Amino acid sequence: MTAIEDLEVKLYADGADLADLLAVASDPRISGFTTNPTLMRRAGVNDYESFARDVLSRITTRPVSFEVFSDELDEMRRQALAIASWGPNVYVKVPVTNTRAEWTDGLVRELSREGVQVNVTALTTVAQVDRVARALEGGAPSNISVFAGRVADTGKDPIPVMREAVAAAAQAERAEVIWASPRELLNIFQADEIGCHIITVTHDILAKLDLVGKDLDEFSLDTVKMFHSDARVAGFTIDVPKPFR
């Protein structure tokens, strides 16, 4: 198995807990950072701009994505320009459509050609990637976030989708595809194998990186020891019936 250090796919930490973000910021394996309004709400963020500026004051040299949250295209544009002004390493996340299923590719095209680094998010199909890539062609450096984990949640194999997505995105020479919403550490190696540029990794997945290459017999024994220890600590007992005579 390829070592984490030898992978070509870039790892972006995904989350909104400031302490966790800063903890992984010192990890040389992490090339960038992403977040979204849902993660920020779960982390208890109350002031969007204050949180973002705090993050950017501490993480200054690697890409960090922050998302617009308006449902109206004009207001999305205003928010995008404001977010982009917060730092040169900012990527502005714009959803592929609004909640009325209205495409945002026109706005994406405008922003990208004005020099805004966009991260078009919430894509799940190759057709969406193709349309977004055409909008990004000739524009600023950009990301296309394809939610492979959500594709897998429907029972569909995400690997063929992601492989086609990478090919479709190639028409935008400065666009990089992100394998978003991973479900397990194995997804990192799958993303690397198909030539995906970036994969987001949650805190839980990051915690498993040190398991890569672990001897499976040793892992088996560790598991047995864990079950034995937990049963003992819990004080579990089973009354053994006396033999019938």
Active site residues: 93
Q: Mean pLDDT, to the nearest integer, of 226-233? A: 98
pTM metric for this prediction: 0.93
For residue 6, pLDDT beyond 90 = no
In which band, very low, low, confident or very high, does the pLDDT at 3 lie, cut at 50, 70 and 90? Answer: confident
For residue 48, pLDDT beyond 70 = yes
Q: Mean pLDDT, to the nearest integer, of 27-51? A: 95
Average per-residue pLDDT for the chain: 96
The predicted-structure confidence for 88-101, as pLDDT tens digits, reads as follows: 999 999 999 999 99
Q: Mean pLDDT, to the nearest integer, of 51-57? A: 97
- Quote the percentage of the chain above a pLDDT of 90: 92
Q: Mean pLDDT, to the nearest integer, of 193-217? A: 94
For residue 243, pLDDT beyond 90 = no
pLDDT of residue 241: 84
For residue 1, pLDDT beyond 70 = no
Q: Give the other-Cβ count within 10 Å of 211's Cβ.
A: 9
- Cα-Cα-Cα-Cα torsion 211, 215, 217, 219, nearest 10 degrees, comes to -10
Q: Structural domains in the chain?
A: 4-213 (3.20.20.70)
**Which long-range contacts link 109-115 to residues 24+ away (Cβ below 8 Å)?**
109/135, 109/136, 109/139, 110/77, 111/77, 111/80, 111/81, 111/84, 111/139, 112/136, 112/139, 112/140, 112/142, 113/138, 113/139, 113/140, 114/140, 115/140
pLDDT of residue 245: 67
Tokens of 127: 């057709």
Least reliable range by pLDDT among 20-29, 60-69, 160-169: 20-29
For the chain, the DSSP string reads: ---GGG--SEEEEE---HHHHHHHHT-TTEEEEE--HHHHHHTT---HHHHHHHHHHH--SS-EEEE---SSHHHHHHHHHHHHTT-TTEEEEEESB-TT--B-HHHHHHHHHTT--EEEEEE-SHHHHHHHHHHHTTSSSEEEEEEHHHHHHTT--HHHHHHHHHHHHTTSTTEEEEEES--STHHHHHHHHTT-SEEEE-HHHHTTGGGTT--HHHHHHHHHHHHHHHHHHHT---PPPPPP-
The predicted-structure confidence for 157-178, as pLDDT tens digits, reads as follows: 999 999 999 999 999 999 999 9
- Cα-Cα-Cα-Cα torsion 102, 108, 123, 42, nearest 10 degrees, comes to -90
In which band, very low, low, confident or very high, does the pLDDT at 242 lie, cut at 50, 70 and 90? Answer: confident
For residue 78, pLDDT beyond 70 = yes
pLDDT of residue 155: 98
